[in-house]
Amino acid sequence: MSQAEIQGGTGKMPRQIPFIVATEGCERFSFYGMRNILTPFLISTLLLFLPEPDRAGEAKHVFHTFVIGVYFFPLLGGWLADRFFGKYDTIFWLSLVYCAGHACLAIWDDNLNGFYFGLFLIALGSGGIKPLISSFVGDQFDQTNKGKAKVVFDIFYWMINFGSFFASLLMPIFLKDFGPSIAFGIPGILMFIATMVFWSGRKKYINVPPAPEDPNSFTRVARTALLAAKPGQSRPGLMVAGVGAVGALASLAMSPQWGFVIAACTAVVLLLAGGGIGTSMQLERARGVHPDEAVDGVRAVLRILIVFGLSTPFWSLFDQKASTWIVQAQAMVPTVAAFGTEFTILPAQMQALNPLLVMILIPFNNLVLYPLIRKAGIEPTALRRMTVGIVFSALSWIVIGSIQVAMDGGEPMSMAWQILPYALLTFGEVLVSATGLEFAYSQAPASMKGVIMAFWFLATTVGSLWVLIVNQAVKNEAVLAHIANSGVGVMAFQMYFFAAFAFAAAVAFGMYAVRYRMVDNYRVDTKAALA
């Protein structure tokens, strides 16, 4: 390999990549196959014991609780991989848990407790492997071929949507024509295939071992910073962390009123926010006790977490396409005219638009849009793309809210009207989500790849938490009275609220992006560098 290739990162593509990409395609089919039929299944079958007006709300609550679990368990998976088992072993064994969850859904489709237990196992398995698969992709690259990583991350994300497209298109039909056992069983078979494909490439992977016990780890540096005392100075950072801890305890105490999931997730967010802000305020006190590199690494992680935190409103909008948007679609005219023919569309099938558009937009952006932007003298950096993506997500919700206003006014609306908001939301997704995978891996210190990727996915948990909080708020009589005075229905009001929420987040994200300094934390291949 030439020195120019080493320096430019243009070396060969790792031969093990196809195994990981194929695994992801099958796994995503399994996940979206069950996820995209979850809301209509709950409304039409499992929640029939509830009064009809309450089923949609309860289905949305169950769906977003499940999503919270899926994106919360990455913290566990990332920690297990980084500290004990490594990425490969953690992925393999949690994949088997994932398969068991699918089996529970297929077997206990008429048993509430059994079905919810299956959802828990899927959340544990899917969530646990989620940060590891993408970071495992990154581990296969080093400084000699890192230039290929962006292409692979885009292919990786394309495969996610390839699996999602066929799952979204086919599983609603299987649910309607063959029943829930078959509709939930097929995704389980695909997950088993994914596990076997991943296992078959085991001798080809580059396995980065778990990090040894580090006296200068993130948590130790943070603890030193928070507890360090200076003569004549107070410890404001420790006070902020303490406020976060008290807030977390108060949130847990609200479990009877809020529900355990909302209370527990709020507690985690407050604890992380208080500890992170407090550590940042006193971080310089850790210098001298720990090496400068360790202190600077902690500061880098805290800066990354701010980016993740500012992206959470996007996820509150994005994941509602599988809940709120389906509920809206169920009240729309199901016939769509195209090519001189009328088609009857199932509400859940509209979600197939999202992965289909992703598969189109990723190559379009890389081959057409980004080169044109560069010719105009503007570099489409990761953070710039993510800022614009949040804006487009907000625009999609203005459109979907306007559709809801028309429906509330008695206007019959075809499902075809949802195509435009799906297109806007998907363009935003490509700019935020696909870019975020690359950003998270490249910015994470080597010893914290799994955990940092877990925090990236935790942003989705917080996004669904926003949804649950808003849904809980609209049950309040005072809030309902305010909405009634606004001149729009409850659902439309919520849609406009989330749009405004995303616009505000985009402004904050863009302002922070200007100040953020990118780093390069790809693995160094010392052998190649010395060749």
Q: CB neighbours of 7 closer than 8 A, spacing ≥ 6?
A: none
pLDDT score, position 10: 55
**What average pLDDT does the structure give for the chain?**
85
Would you list the DSSP string of 405-458? HHHHTT---BGGGGHHHHHHHHHHHIIIIIHHHHHHHHHS-GGGHHHHHHHHHH
Q: Supply 153's token pair.
A: 């991350």
- 8 pLDDT higher than 70: no
d(CA 376, CA 259): 51
What is the average per-residue pLDDT within 364-381?
Answer: 90
| pLDDT above 90: percentage of residues in the chain | 38
Give dist(CA 505, CA 188) in Å, integer: 37
Selection from 118, 142, 152 nearest residue 24 by Cα: 152
Containing domain of residue 352, as a range? 16-205+291-530
CATH of residue 421's domain is 1.20.1250.20
| Cβ neighbours of 41 (radius 10 Å) | 23
Q: Report the chain's C-alpha Rg in angstroms.
A: 23
Domain contains 232: no
CA distances (Å), origin 261, targets 226, 268, 311, 470: 29, 11, 21, 14
The two three-digit tokens of residue 227, written as one number: 């507890």
Output the six-digit token pair for 328.
């809206």
Q: Quick one: pLDDT at residue 387? A: 94
User: Is pLDDT at 417 greater than 50 in this prediction?
Assistant: yes
Residue 255 domain-assigned (yes or no):
no
Ramachandran category for residue 134: left, alpha or beta (phi over 0 → left; psi -120 to 50 → alpha):
alpha
Question: Would the pLDDT of 525 be above 70?
Answer: no
Question: Residue 451: what pLDDT?
Answer: 65
Higher pLDDT, 26 or 480: 26
- Per-residue pLDDT tens for 267-309? 888 998 999 999 999 999 999 899 988 888 888 888 888 888 8
Quickly tell me which residue has 């709120």 as its tokens.
324
| Per-residue pLDDT tens over the stretch 83-129 | 888 889 999 999 999 999 999 999 998 899 999 999 999 999 998 88
The answer to whether residues 442 and 360 touch, using CB atoms and an 8 Å cutoff, is no
pLDDT at 255 over 70: yes
Angle (CA) 378 367 518, round 5°: 45
Q: Looking at per-residue confidence, does 390 or 136 come out higher?
A: 390
**pLDDT tens per residue, range 45-60:** 999 999 888 888 888 8
224 within domain boundaries: no
**CA 334/CA 313 separation, integer angstroms:** 30
- Residue 215 tokens, joined: 């006296």
**Predicted pLDDT at 447:** 64
Q: Say whether pLDDT at 527 is over 50.
A: no
pLDDT digits (tens, 9 = 90+) for 125-172: 998 888 788 778 878 877 777 777 767 777 777 777 788 888 888 999
| pLDDT band at 531; cut points 50, 70, 90 | very low
pLDDT at 529 over 50: no
pTM of the model: 0.77
**Is residue 508 situated within a structural domain?**
yes
Average pLDDT over residues 258-269: 81
When pLDDT is cut at 50, 70 and 90, the band that residue 444 belongs to is: confident
Between 72 and 380, the higher pLDDT residue: 380
Query: Worst-scoring range by mean pLDDT, 64-78, 224-238, 276-290, 450-464?
Result: 450-464
The answer to whether residues 98 and 125 touch, using CB atoms and an 8 Å cutoff, is: yes
- Do the domain assignments include residue 417? yes
Query: 7 falls in which pLDDT band (50, 70, 90)?
Result: very low
Q: Which residue has the tokens 């992709």?
A: 137
Asked whether the CA dihedral 47, 51, 54, 55 is positive or negative, the reply is: positive
pLDDT of residue 449: 66
**pLDDT of the residue at 116:** 93
Q: How many domains does the chain have?
A: 1
Q: Which residue has better confidence, 80 or 242?
A: 242
Residue 72 domain flag: yes
Q: Which amino acid is at 370?
A: Y
- DSSP states along 143-181: TTTGGGHHHHHHHHHHHHHHHHHHHHHHHHHHHHHH-HH
Question: Is the pLDDT reported for residue 41 higher than 90?
Answer: yes
Q: Is residue 10 part of a domain?
A: no
- Does 6 score more than 60 pLDDT? no
Question: What are 190-221's pLDDT values in tens digits?
Answer: 999 999 999 998 888 888 888 777 788 888 89
Is 282 inside a domain boundary? no
